[in-house]
Amino acid sequence: METLSIYAPKLVTNREYIASGHRACSGCGEVLAVRYVCKALGRNTIISNATGCMEIISSPLPETSWEVPWIHTLFENASAVASGIESGIKALKRKHGYTKEVKVVAMGGDGGTADIGLQSLSGALERGHDFLYVCYDNEAYMNTGIQRSSETPYGASTTTAPSGKNSMGQHTWKKNMAAIAAAHNIKYVATSCSSYPFDIMTKVEKAIKVKGPSYIHILSVCPTGWRCPSNLTIKMGRLAVETGIFPVYEIEDGQYKLNIDLPSLRPVEDYLKLQGRYRHLTKDSTAVIQAKAIEEYNRIRQLSGLKAIK
Amino acid sequence: MTLKHTGIESSLAMAEAVRLANTDVIAAYPITPQTHIVESLAELVANGQLDAEYIPVESEHSAMSACLGSSAVGARTFTATASQGLILMHEVLLVAASLRLPIVMAVANRALSGPLNIWGDHSDAMVTRDSGWIQIFVENGQQAFDQTICAFYIAEHPDVLLPTIINIDGFHISHVIEPIAMLDQKTVDGFLPPYKRSITLDPDNPITMGCFAMPNMYAESRKALDTALHNSKKVILEVWRKYGELTGRHYKPVEKYKAENAETLLVTMGGYSENAMDAIDKMQGEGKKVGLIRICLWRPFPYDELIEAVSGARNVIVLDRAISLGGPAPVCSEIRAALYTSDKRPQVASIVGGLGGRDISPDDFEKLVGIGLEQIKAGRTADTIMFGVRE
């Protein structure tokens, strides 16, 4: 191996835009992802936040963790509020001498994005507002106590789709939000994961350079809801990616690109066995998840122009 | 200057008022009978007659949500809706008030489902009653135009900062062509100050809007909002006074029509008031001591003015154009509550009528007064009568 004389680390700003002292659970992958997203966005940002974990941990009156202008109004309307912010600034620039270059960002959890907020997100993407939407997907309604969403993965047990004598827990597969966003013919869509800070930051930087809407879907590990030790957050996100359960890719102008290209996948069991939400799974249902993970991973590979793996 | 009267549809006159106010952002979703207002605005923007961002949102919920965003960055913001649209945006309305965002909205009042009905009544406005918005009812197209100009002034006043609804009866006002005296641009510019919000979403001065409140803070927030809404009346009166001086058209929270020395007072709100006036003219011509009181300001409720207006009468007959299912009619209930602490308490009869666009003609108003008086005479004032309904 070649010996390197200079080690060039990637530079990340020391500046924080979500202050410590927030009320997130220990090991929260979501707030970690928010932190990276905000570092990449920088100070000239306005955030419209849907109701959910990130809202509730950061804004108990009269305190706030936010060091950028931030607005929370309701659960299902973060994208519509962002539409108004973006349009308002456009009008102010044209009519009232407003000169600041502001990045408008909407964010929400998987419920606020894929379920209750899907209509307002679709509307804002379709209308072409210049904004970035970030979904922090922790795969259930964690804020209200681990109820299933359309992003809850197959086989996971939640409080409203619990495993039981007649149930394996969630019996549907994750809604494919990246594909739904891409179907609006927007310029930039990406997936990422809270365990990959540089991947998140690179993608946010790319997304905000796009004129028009962009969408990033970040798998955000939730030890509380996934029922795993809080010191395994980073490992858990990496296992989701390395088992092929959550492929990390971009869709630029409709073209897929697999960003974390693995020569082979780890068995899904490595990921599932560490989480209480999958404790009830039988060998058979684990095999179903295994087959689906490979199939989905290969589908993204194929769309990215890569050969399938076994 | 006030321009000479022009025949114009009320909805279009309202859109013209929004143009004259140099509105920055309009976010709207179409619903009958609001459509002519927003279509006209879209056209004004498309033709370059109004420099604004028109956001054609995918629902009323998103319309009001977009309004939150644009108002929060300091842009003058307008929307219009009706009926199902108003109740779909209902949860957003409460947030607009609590964030103190001075959005101006026209509501072309319409019945609520079910059954589906596109015609006018006040059911939609009554659902919105407790949302924290300033709520004004108008009686014709001229008032719709005037109150739209005034609404921006009132809502954006630094001592108010509250969203404001102008209620215009669906079809009966919204679609009627009337002679309306509008204002020229110079006059509106001289009257209406620009929207200058001191606190906005601004990267140079980052603020957090929309915190959640624990039990130790929630009640204080609500109290502060309630106080702000009550206090807005002072500014409302001041703006109407200035507008009256400018145009000669004077507005009051409670308007009286031939009410002096009346033994019986009819109370109405909104567009049917002009029919009621015709009925009053006729009845007074016949020597009957009947007058009319019209409520123009619905929220904040003008308790003092209302008590002053009705407490001298012996009988009060209140027409509600909405039904509170399983409870007392909303406007009447308010009037009874206002009178309870008054020294002079007239008898109050409650009548619900004009639902789902059913007309109440001047002749009907005469009958309606008769029915009210019978109820009072028979001591049945606890009942609510549905006027002209087949049973």
Please tell me the distance from the alpha carbon of residue A231 to that of residue A221, in angstroms, as a whole number: 11
With cut-offs at 50, 70 and 90, classify the pLDDT of residue A7. low
Give the position of tokens 């990033």.
A216
Please tell me the distance from the alpha carbon of residue A136 to that of residue A29, in angstroms, as a whole number: 9
Beta-carbon separation of A46 and B214 below 8 A: no
pTM above 0.90, yes or no: yes
Please tell me the distance from the alpha carbon of residue B166 to that of residue B134, in angstroms, as a whole number: 9
Do B183 and B237 lie in one domain? The reply is yes
Do B200 and B264 lie in one domain? The reply is no
Q: Which of A70, A74, A88 sits opposite B73 (nearest CB)?
A: A88
ipTM of the complex: 0.97
HSE-up of residue B250 (Cα within 13 Å, Cβ side): 7
- CB < 8 Å to A122, chain B: 58
Q: Where among B206, B221, B247 does a domain terminate?
A: B247
Do B163 and B185 lie in one domain? The reply is yes
Q: Shortest CA distance to B229 belongs to which of B84, B96, B56?
A: B96
pLDDT 10s digits, A186-216: 999 999 999 999 999 999 999 999 999 999 9
Min Cα separation A212/chain B (Å)? 15
As a whole number, the mean pLDDT across chain B is 97
What was the pLDDT predicted at B371?
A: 97
Do B186 and B278 lie in one domain? The reply is no
- CB < 8 Å to A125, chain B: none
pLDDT 10s digits, A249-299: 999 999 999 999 998 999 999 999 999 999 999 999 999 999 999 999 999
Do B206 and B110 lie in one domain? The reply is yes
Beta-carbon separation of B66 and A55 below 8 A: no
Quick one: how far is CA B46 from the chain centroid?
Answer: 29
B1 within some domain: no
With cut-offs at 50, 70 and 90, classify the pLDDT of residue A4. low
Beta-carbon separation of A86 and B69 below 8 A: yes
Please tell me the distance from the alpha carbon of residue B10 to that of residue B173, in angstroms, as a whole number: 6
Q: Where among B247, B269, B300 does a domain terminate?
A: B247
Quick one: how far is CA A179 from the chain centroid?
Answer: 14
Please tell me the distance from the alpha carbon of residue B292 to that of residue B319, in angstroms, as a whole number: 11
pLDDT over threshold 60, residue A1:
no
What was the pLDDT predicted at B215?
A: 96
- Mean predicted confidence (pLDDT) in B70-76: 98
- CB < 8 Å to A208, chain B: none
A83 reaches B (C-beta below 8 A): yes
A23 reaches B (C-beta below 8 A): no
Q: Where among B213, B247, B281 does a domain terminate?
A: B247
Give the position of tokens 């109701």.
A51
Beta-carbon separation of A84 and B77 below 8 A: yes
Q: Shortest CA distance to B357 belongs to which of B116, B36, B191?
A: B116
- Mean predicted confidence (pLDDT) in B221-230: 98
pLDDT over threshold 70, residue A135:
yes
B391 within some domain: no
Say which residue, A47 or A263, is predicted with more confidence: A47
pLDDT 10s digits, A69-97: 999 999 999 999 999 999 999 999 999 99
Longest dimension (CA), chain B: 69
| Binding-face residues of A in 114-153 toward B, CB within 8 A | 119-120, 122-124, 126-127
Do B228 and B107 lie in one domain? The reply is yes
pLDDT over threshold 80, residue B291:
yes
Do B204 and B310 lie in one domain? The reply is no
pLDDT over threshold 90, residue B340:
yes
**Tokens at A239, concatenated:** 């296992």
Report the CATH number at residue B266.
Answer: 3.40.50.920
Q: Is the CB of residue B76 less than 8 Å from the CB of residue B191?
A: no
Beta-carbon separation of A72 and B211 below 8 A: yes
Beta-carbon separation of A102 and B203 below 8 A: yes
Alpha helix stretches (DSSP H) within A167-259:
177-182, 197-209, 223-226, 233-242
B52 within some domain: yes
Do B184 and B263 lie in one domain? The reply is no
Burial class (CB in 10 A: 0-12, 13-18, 19+), B47: exposed
With cut-offs at 50, 70 and 90, classify the pLDDT of residue B2. confident
Please name each of the domains of chain A with its CATH number: 29-303 (3.40.50.970)
What phi, psi does A297 have (nearest 5°)? -60, -45
Please tell me the distance from the alpha carbon of residue B38 to that of residue A78, in angstroms, as a whole number: 24
pLDDT over threshold 60, residue B176:
yes
Do B341 and B205 lie in one domain? The reply is no
- CB < 8 Å to B200, chain A: 69
B354 within some domain: yes
**Percentage of chain B exceeding pLDDT 70:** 100
Please tell me the distance from the alpha carbon of residue B53 to that of residue B33, in angstroms, as a whole number: 23
What was the pLDDT predicted at A8?
A: 64
**What single letter denotes the amino acid at residue B73?**
V
Min Cα separation A251/chain B (Å)? 25
Please tell me the distance from the alpha carbon of residue B304 to that of residue B339, in angstroms, as a whole number: 10
Do B234 and B369 lie in one domain? The reply is no
B141 within some domain: yes
Please tell me the distance from the alpha carbon of residue B153 to that of residue B242, in angstroms, as a whole number: 11
With cut-offs at 50, 70 and 90, classify the pLDDT of residue A310. confident
Min Cα separation B82/chain A (Å)? 19
| Binding-face residues of A in 187-206 toward B, CB within 8 A | none
pLDDT 10s digits, B114-169: 999 999 999 999 999 999 999 999 999 999 999 999 999 999 999 999 999 999 99
What was the pLDDT predicted at A193?
A: 98
Please tell me the distance from the alpha carbon of residue B18 to that of residue B80, in angstroms, as a whole number: 11
- CB < 8 Å to A45, chain B: 203
Report how many domains make up chain B.
2
Q: Is the CB of residue A95 less than 8 Å from the CB of residue A134?
A: no
Q: Is B21 helix (H, G, I), strand (E, B) or coil?
A: coil
**Percentage of chain B exceeding pLDDT 90:** 97
What was the pLDDT predicted at A283?
A: 97
Report the CATH number at residue B48.
Answer: 3.40.50.970
Do B217 and B359 lie in one domain? The reply is no
Say which residue, A218 or A263, is predicted with more confidence: A218
Q: Is the CB of residue B247 less than 8 Å from the CB of residue B2?
A: yes
User: In Å, what is the CA distance from A157 to each residue of A160, A165, A278, A286?
Assistant: 8, 12, 6, 14
pLDDT 10s digits, A110-121: 999 999 999 999
pLDDT over threshold 80, residue B1:
no
- Per the structure, the complete domain to which residue B337 belongs is given by 255-386
What was the pLDDT predicted at A6?
A: 72
With cut-offs at 50, 70 and 90, classify the pLDDT of residue B198. confident
Do B131 and B157 lie in one domain? The reply is yes
